[in-house]
Structure 1
């Protein structure tokens, strides 16, 4: 089995991590930072919007089970790719909608999926998602890992993350991890 990694930024990484962890073929999701100028950024520094980094996730997946294109379809369905540098109340370049392909083939796939989403009129507005080169992925501090799973009753989780996860479960029910029978 050959695994691949997709780097995606759809606003707050707590939201995107929660969505992608439930997909069949995804073995790991790690929150982090990419696309900035400061080496080894911290959460506090990235939150200022002055490092140039986006909050992103590194999705480790099996392309034989779920394709890069299908990961992108989930990505576009579970955040608003039409708002520049913003997701809901989270505002700043660190919350930009971004895809950071590992190679030209992934970039081509990203452009094709974006064209498909645009042609379908899925959002009723033009996509502002950036396709940016990946320089370095910096893993976020460990306390961000599994944030939604560890804090399901926190206000942000109930109001912002839970609806995104519910939408993904409904729209991509055929892509969810199978749970073993009891």
Structure 2
């Protein structure tokens, strides 16, 4: 199994989306690259932790490549907005791709280069190595499964996924 961490606005919608993609084995929402150990949601929202709301994605590379994982990610965000996705505004909502040590950086850069061709504005999605990841409080995990009427800025992406062969039927 491989892991990648993704920041794309509120982590609830990203998690709901990726739980439906074939080859995604596990997800967990949390706070990434915080300068505070084990921050709370309130601390992250204050902006003082410098953390980003992120989704840990564990995927089976025999079923789905990192390139495809990232292409799914870009279907869920506007990579040209800084510190904002949908109605979510703040540094914790910035878009980002966060990798563990390894050769993923080359793949990430290639995908961003290809995606940039689709936009007239520059992509501002940050790309950084993972320093730390703290799982969010339990009520945030699988939030939209527990609260089906909850806010989700990427509902359209979830509906579009259901029309593809990469949908896992969940």
Q: Flag whether TM exceeds 0.5 (same fold).
A: yes
The within-5 A match list for 1:33-44 is 33-44=31-42
**Cα-to-partner distance string for 1:94-153 (whole Å, 9 max, x where unaligned):** 00111111124111111000001112x1x4422100001111111111111111112112
- Answer yes or no: is the 8 Å Cα contact 1:24–1:177 preserved in 2: yes
Instruction: Choose from 143, 157, 177 the match for 2:168.
Output: 177
Name the Cα RMSD after superposition.
Answer: 1.5
Q: TM-score, normalised by structure 2?
A: 0.94
Paired with 1:6 and 1:100, the residues of 2 have a C-alpha distance of 6
> Which residue is 1:146 aligned to?
142
CA–CA distance in 1 between the matches of 2:142 and 2:48?
26
**Structure 1 counterpart of 2:84, from 80, 83, 86:** 86
What is the number of residues matched between the two proteins? Answer: 170
In the alignment, which residue of structure 1 is the partner of 2:96?
A: 98
Equivalences for residues 115-130 of structure 1 within 5 A: 115-119=113-117, 121=118, 123-130=119-126
Query: More helix per residue: 1 or 2?
Result: 1
The one of 72, 75, 83 aligned to 2:73? 75
- Scaled by the length of structure 1, what TM-score is found? 0.88
Give the Cα–Cα distance (whole angstroms) in 2 for the partners of residues 54 and 131 of structure 1.
Answer: 12
Alpha-carbon spacing, 1:38–1:81, altered in 2? closer, same or farther (3 Å): same
